[in-house]
Structures are given as structure tokens and as C-alpha cells.
Amino acid sequence: MAETVTTDILIVGAGPIGLYGAYCAGFRGLRTVLVDALPQCGGQITALYPEKEIRDIAAVPGTRGRDVVTALKDQADAFDPTYLLGRQAVGLAHSPHGRPQVTLSDGVTVDAGAVVLTAGIGTFTPRTLPAGEEFLGRGLTYFVPDPAEHTDRDVLVVGGGDSAVDWALALHPIARSVTLVHRRGTFRAHAASVRELQECGAGIVTNAQVETLAGDDRLRQAHVKIDGEAEPRVLKVDAVVAALGFISNLGPLADWGVQLERRTIVVDTRMRTTVERIYAAGDVTAYPGKVRLMSVGFGEVATAVNNAAVALDPALSLFPGHSTESA
């Protein structure tokens, strides 16, 4: 017979927002279970850019992604949440008493008082670089788990978003050279980061695309076609980081009956979805005026957890109190 785990709050997604949600639930004395399809906590940060510096958290001017995750997990672990990692939340049903019952991919059922979805962008796969896929693992990568691997290399970064610019900035001090190629003349990345890149001495090639990659057992060259130039420019490269974004997929969550808007989940001001006792927070949510920042997600999950607490026990106060007032 399949195992059933009973809890007050089930958090689906053990990334930064989910971890902070576990702290918020624990602070209120609620039993908490976190589920994630990845085998470790941290979500995209751990899987894709653990060494990248994160700068948009209040009072944290800049720290490595892995350190942010470690701090959040330490904070959550003070209340002993249960982690069910490496398994996906698949099915949703409700008990006769209205309690959500979530089936996991390994057959375990989590019977919860309420569920908070903090699944980020869901499952994610990188957008591929059309040129040179045969060099994947031989010089071409889609993320940089360890920047030190690019020490003293000639690195080409492709893209114009925050990830591309951030990686170019992170690699510039240690690589032999860094060149960023972007197909447009303007960037989607934060203006301050773009300005820093322009001032640090990295190469920037705009209105251009990587046409082909070339080499033998390893990547040796990138042929870059620049608008207005008759022949592609040949760049000597040891590595290409294609930071072109990711294709997200909510997976089974899309079949839970929640209202969706462009692969995100619609919530109200209490972070409630359209399904009873199912809440959501972080990048997975949509509402008018939504700003997709980690710092915003922290506030959203605090709102979701505290409203869920009151839904479980209407005698409770919505305001949890300040941590400085607790013993």
C-alpha cells in the first residue's frame, strides 16, 4: 500500500521562495512538507547558476546563488520541515473534508491542510543555439555551474538578457577574454548591468548572430554574422555560453484546475488560486502589476502561508507577529 504523509502545509517547489515559505509556516507552528522534482533544494539557482552573484535581495548587496540557498535552507530547517525531493507533484484530489491530497510521482500521497505552489517556471529546458549543437559538452554550454572552469579561456557569451550579461560580468575577471554577442542593438538585461559590462572592457557585438561553430575534438572558432558586414567575423573561442533563456512547462500542475494565464497561475490578493485551499507564490503566479523578482516572491509566499494558516484555523490572527518578539 502506498505511503501517505500528513501535514499542515505542502509546498510544491523547494527553490528560494518555497524555502522561505517553509520558514514562514514553521514560525507559525505548522508542520510543513516540501516537494521538488529536482534532487536538491534551490530550484533554478542550484541547477543552473549556483556561482552567479545575486544582487536583487534587500540588504544583500551581492552573494553567490549557492550561498543564498544555503542561508534560506538553514532558516527553514530551524523548524524541521520534511523534504521529499527528486519526485514530482502529479495528481490533485480533495478528501471529503476538503483537504488537498497530492499524489507524487513515486506513489506517495501527501494529505495537507493547504498547498502552496512555488514552482517557479516549472520544469525548464534551455533554448538551443541553432549553430553548433554538435559541440554541446565540447565547448558549448547553456549555463555555468562552475565559473572557474573558464579560467584563462576565450569565452563567447550569446544573448541579451540578464543571464547573458551577468555571466559575461562574472567570467570577465577570470577568462582570457569575454565577448558577448546579441542579435539586437538593445538589451533586455538591467541597464546598470549593461553599463557595467560596457565599462569593464569585455567585447560586445550587437546586431549579430552566431552562424556556425567550428573545431576538432574541441570548440575552436565561432563564425559571427554581423548585420551590414558581407562576411562572417571569425572569433577564436574555447567556450560558448548560450544564455538564450528557457522554455518552461508547468507539467501536471496545469491539470489541477487552477486558472492559468500564459503558463502562470492566476491568484488573488491572498495568493489564493481558483481551487480551494491551493495557494501560489513567486514566478509561477500572475496578477495585475506582477513584478517577477525574488524579493517580491518572498512577500508573496509569506502572504500565502499566513492566509493558509487562517483558513486552517479561523481563530488565528492573520498577522504572525515579529520574529524579534518570539523566544
Q: pTM to 2 decimals?
A: 0.80
For residue 12 the three cell numbers come to 510544491
> Which residues fall in the annotated binding site for FAD?
36, 44, 49, 89, 124, 283, 324
| Whether the predicted pLDDT of 221 surpasses 90 | yes
Report whether pLDDT(47) > 80.
Answer: no
Report which of 167, 130, 131 is spatially closest to residue 146, judged by C-alpha positions: 167
Identity of the amino acid at 48: L
What is the model's pLDDT at position 91? 96
Check: CB of residue 194 under 8 Å from CB of residue 228. no
Going by C-alpha positions, the residue among 77, 42, 72, 48 that lies closest to residue 60 is 72
Residues in the chain: 327
Distance CA 322, CA 87 (A): 34
Who wins on pLDDT, 216 or 146? 216
**Residue positions forming the annotated binding site:** 36, 44, 49, 89, 124, 283, 324
Average pLDDT, the chain: 93
Which of 267, 91, 279, 56 lies closest to 162 in space, CA to CA?
56
- pLDDT, tens only, 227-251: 999 999 999 999 999 999 888 788 8
pLDDT of 130 higher than 90: no
% of the chain at pLDDT higher than 70: 99
Report whether pLDDT(214) > 60. yes
C-alpha to C-alpha distances, 47 to 32, 37, 77, 194, 249, nearest whole angstrom: 23, 12, 21, 25, 16
Confidence label for 76 from pLDDT (cuts 50, 70 and 90): very high
Alpha-carbon span 212 to 225, nearest angstrom: 9
Give pLDDT, residue 55: 84
Q: Other CB atoms closer than 10 Å to residue 174's CB: what's the count? A: 15
Q: Among candidates 233, 226, 224, 177, which has minimal Cα distance to 200?
A: 177
Mind listing the pLDDT tens digit for each residue in 262-291?
A: 889 999 999 999 999 999 999 999 999 999
Q: Give the single-character DSSP code of 137.
A: T
Query: Is the pLDDT score of 15 beyond 60?
Result: yes
Average of per-residue pLDDT across 136-155: 91
Percent of the chain with pLDDT over 90: 78
Please give the pLDDT value at position 252: 93
What is the pLDDT at residue 110?
98
Grid coordinates given for 123: 520544469
In which band, very low, low, confident or very high, does the pLDDT at 1 lie, cut at 50, 70 and 90? low
pLDDT of residue 327: 55
Amino acid at 211: E
Query: Does residue 315 carry a pLDDT above 60?
Result: yes
pLDDT of 169 higher than 60: yes
- Summarised one tens digit per residue, pLDDT across range 298-310 is 999 999 999 999 9
Task: Label the pairing between strands 239-242 and 154-158.
Answer: parallel
Looking at residue 81, what DSSP letter applies?
A: -
pLDDT band at 78 (very low <50, low <70, confident <90, very high): very high
**Structural domains present in the chain:** 4-124+246-325 (3.50.50.60), 128-242 (3.50.50.60)
